[in-house]
Structure 1
Amino acid sequence: MSRIGTVGIVGAGQMGGGIAHVSALAGYDVLVYDISSDRIEKGLATISGNLARQVSSGKLDEQVRKEALSRISGAQSMSDLAAADLVIEAATEDETVKRKIYAELCPQLNPAAILATNTSSISITRLAAQTDRPERFIGIHFMNPVPVMKLVELVRGIATDDQTFETAKAYVNALEKTITVSEDFPAFIVNRILLPMINEAIYTLYEGVGSVEAIDTAMRLGANHPMGPLQLADFIGLDTCLSIMQVLHDGLSDSKYRPCPLLVKYVEAGWLGRKAGRGFYDYRGEHPVPTR
């Protein structure tokens, strides 16, 4: 399989929807699957809204928006993904969940189809070993939000063959994204550097060195970051931040990757950031307010 015509996406959330969005704009037919029709409909509605915003801001022509939307369909069952040449799993950052998806998905796929994962931290080699096609399995890690962020990390597992890599590369190039190639080490490149910085910012809060507002202001104005690390953690999702730190800690066995106890406590409380209404900021009012 050297040419991609139809892209299947498992997961209609923020990442899956973003991948569908950019794939349709690049001219691919897209099938979006999730565990319920409600989730699929919500995901498609979000894509439609995001495309409309691009039109209203002058970044997209109305006709292009209509054509892109016409290329995206909901897949009512995994068997509908048999039509896809490339299937990208964009489920939650939980290895158990991903393994379960592959067990159900692989028997439905075209034998020649490429299976990819959007994991931001988990071993591609280990995930590939749970499939029937390790040679045609690859990591295609998009950044969030997908329509805005230009970078994609391509990660080969030990078994990924050259044709799979080249086909994935051609697909990402067609999306007009910039590729960086990472070796298959825990958290790859971006999150290997970014998440320990966020974790250190949480330790800085935990130890009382500064308040939420002080830490975020310091990094925005002192390091010229577009948003502070605690604000960014809320945007990513504190459960995702914790999962990635656990992957780093388990995979590299270095105490410097130990998740901050305060991060663990926030996740245990269900304060997962923007998506939950509370994290290091409380988003339930008109303006975000620091929670510490």
Structure 2
Amino acid sequence: MTTAPHDESPPRHALTVLGAGVMGVGITVLALGHGLPVHLVDVDRELLDRAGDRIDGELRLAELMGALPPGISPGELVTGTSLKAAAGATAVIEAVTENAATKAAVLSEVSALVRPGTPLITNTSSIPVDELAGALERPEELVGTHFMNPPYLIGTAEVVRGPRTGEPAMAAVTSLLAALRRRAVVVRDAPGFVTSRILHPMINDAARVVEEGTATAEAVDALMQGCLGHPTGPLRTADLIGIDNLVDSLRVLHERTGDDGCRPSELLVRLVREGRLGRKSGRGFYDYT
């Protein structure tokens, strides 16, 4: 099922985004660039302060790349460390670390703070939505929306409807994505949904090819780009996702599906251990310093 990506007169939204990591920052840039006010929340004040500079830089980049609508002033950004900021939001997007217990705890606390009827959106790449919905006071308000990185450059979002997700929550999320000029493709709930269930095991296999000495990372990506039409190559994509995030997602998939192809390769695990997390750390499969 696909919904229209545009809305001539979208309703006003006031977002709270939880988590000032890579995805929280990217989602915040997307919203601000479309004129929506955002309250960005993270328990780490230092991380929040750094996020402000990153948001400014990515807003400029998005504008230069023509990824933002012309003639719209950026929305107002407010940052803070308290979840109480979510109380006045029209929608809350949770983008904390890809750990089911952490996400469930944050969503449970937020569910008790927001007005009934406020959609809660979990930005997860692999954790089933219904697994998290059990932590909420009103599980029908939870929807999964998997934004790709960077959200302000990718015009489609995977929307995951859990078994208990209600029609009002789906309508609210569809309206929000229309205001963000994003095409929403709705799928059913499952570990990894569609994008991660296909992409992450493929990246894992690409890492195994490098680990086994069959080819370099550069050769793998060149072949996947030149022969199979992958836009960036799987290992450059891994660096963009964040190799730590990728390993977390693969572990979730392996635990919930039993598919041994989702067990993180030793090379991916070693890169995380060495702090080579991809673009965000300056080094991953490639060097960005």
Same fold (TM over 0.5): yes
Letter in 1 for 2:74: A
Q: Which residue of 8, 17, 21 corresponds with 1:13? A: 21
Letter in 2 for 1:21: V
Q: Percent identity?
A: 37
Q: Which has the higher contact order (CA 8 A, sep 6+)?
A: 2
Matches within 5 A, 1:106-185: 106-185=111-190
Describe the superposition over 1:116-175 as per-residue Cα deviations: whole angstroms up to 9, x where unpaired.
100011010011111112011110111110110011111111111111111111111221
Structure 2: gaps spanning 5 or more residues: 1-10
Matches within 5 A, 1:28-47: 28-47=36-55
Q: How big is the shift at 1:63?
A: 6.0
Judge which range, 141-150 or 167-176, deviates more: 167-176
Give the structure 2 partner of residue 212 of structure 1: 217
Q: CA, structure 1 residues 213+56, in 2 after alignment: closer, same or farther (shift >3 Å)?
A: closer
Structure 1: gaps spanning 5 or more residues: 285-292
Give the structure 2 partner of residue 95 of structure 1: 100
Report how many residues are paired. 279
Judge which range, 208-217 or 103-112, deviates more: 103-112
Give the structure 2 partner of residue 224 of structure 1: 229
Q: How big is the shift at 1:62?
A: 8.3
Give the structure 1 partner of residue 61 of structure 2: 53
The answer to whether residue 31 in structure 2 is matched with residue 23 in structure 1 is yes
8 Å Cα contact 2:243/2:272 also seen in 1:
yes
Letter in 2 for 1:178: R
Counterpart-to-counterpart distance in 2, 1:171 and 1:59 = 17
**RMSD between aligned residues:** 2.1
Matches within 5 A, 1:43-82: 43-56=51-64, 64=72, 67-69=73-75, 71-82=76-87
SS at match of 1:120: coil
Q: How big is the shift at 1:283?
A: 3.1
Give the structure 1 partner of residue 255 of structure 2: 250
Describe the superposition over 1:153-208 as per-residue Cα deviations: whole angstroms up to 9, x where unpaired.
11111111111111111111221111111111111111111111111111111222
8 Å Cα contact 1:75/1:81 also seen in 2:
no
8 Å Cα contact 1:33/1:77 also seen in 2:
yes
The answer to whether residue 242 in structure 2 is matched with residue 237 in structure 1 is yes
Letter in 2 for 1:10: L
Counterpart-to-counterpart distance in 1, 2:138 and 2:63 = 40
Superposed structure 1 runs of 4+ greater than 6 Å apart: none
Give the structure 1 partner of residue 277 of structure 2: 272
Counterpart-to-counterpart distance in 2, 1:15 and 1:205 = 27
Give the structure 1 partner of residue 3 of structure 2: none
8 Å Cα contact 2:13/2:176 also seen in 1:
no
Q: Which residue of 192, 195, 203 corresponds with 1:187? A: 192
Judge which range, 250-259 or 90-99, deviates more: 250-259
Give the structure 1 partner of residue 5 of structure 2: none
Q: CA, structure 1 residues 209+107, in 2 after alignment: closer, same or farther (shift >3 Å)?
A: same
Counterpart-to-counterpart distance in 2, 1:60 and 1:87 = 22
8 Å Cα contact 1:33/1:76 also seen in 2:
yes
SS at match of 1:121: coil
Counterpart-to-counterpart distance in 2, 1:141 and 1:58 = 22
SS at match of 2:270: helix
